[in-house]
Amino acid sequence: RFDVELVAVTKRYSATTTAVDDISLRIPRGSYCCLLGPSGCGKSTTLRMLAGHESVSEGAILVQDVEITTLPPIQRGTSMMFQDYALFPHLTALENVAFSLKVRKVPKEERLKRAREYLELVQMDNLANRLPNQLSGGQQQRVALARSLITRPKVLLLDEPLSALDPFLRTRMRAELKRIQKELGITFVHVTHSQEEAMALSDMMVVMNDAKIMQAAPAREIFETP
């Protein structure tokens, strides 16, 4: 069983820019998958096509056996967490997390109850009433994570989620991401240019270069010398 399948997916931005060139990939259910590669190799484009923020030029995308290639973002079973958090500055942590459910017309009491649960999951329930500017970078990131999980996605997409953090927090959040992924049992697809980060997190590692997939395998098979 696969949570994500890309079937011969190509993305052309113009006649001269092919950002993703005929890639195929299957990500097993409940995996922590890292997309690793140098800047400009097509990682973000791949993630944005999964999220529905970018159209596909050719090929198909499936989530849990359902084709989602042309569905709008909120109907795909995916959710995206961005590197710059993008919290609403005038809303508290709790309100920020609950907001995704407001858009989906979930009643207020249910929204706030679930928002508290997800703040607890990211260990931020004690700071629920703070505004974003009263939180550290790492704390804001936990709130952003709760906000992207509260819609109960089948697949969470993370674009360089640790790159804005200092090295100490980066290591801590890395462990947190792994814990939360295992606790929820959903697939995470995490874009990074750091081999160390991908090694530490991946069940499955996908190495991209120049718009192509070079290797897709468990991390140890890719980097262990025989």
Nearer to ligand ADP, 154 or 212 (CB): 212
Nearer to ligand ADP, 18 or 140 (CB): 18
Nearer to ligand ADP, 8 or 66 (CB): 8
Nearer to ligand ADP, 53 or 220 (CB): 53
As measured in angstroms, the least distance from the Cβ of 46 to ligand ADP is: 7
- DSSP characters for the chain? -EEEEEEEEEEESSSS-EEEEEEEEEEETT-EEEEE--TTSSHHHHHHHHHTSS--SEEEEEETTEE-TTS-GGGTTEEEE-TT----TTS-HHHHHHHHHHHTT--HHHHHHHHHHHHHHTT-GGGTT--GGGS-HHHHHHHHHHHHHTT--SEEEEESTTTTS-HHHHHHHHHHHHHHHHHHT-EEEEEES-HHHHHHH-SEEEEEETTEEEEEE-HHHHH---
Nearer to ligand ADP, 26 or 212 (CB): 212
As measured in angstroms, the least distance from the Cβ of 102 to ligand ADP is: 26
As measured in angstroms, the least distance from the Cβ of 161 to ligand ADP is: 11
As measured in angstroms, the least distance from the Cβ of 79 to ligand ADP is: 18
Residues lying near ligand ADP in the complex (CB under 6 A): 13, 17, 19, 37, 39-45
Question: Integer distance in angstroms from the first to the last C-alpha of the chain?
Answer: 30
As measured in angstroms, the least distance from the Cβ of 39 to ligand ADP is: 4
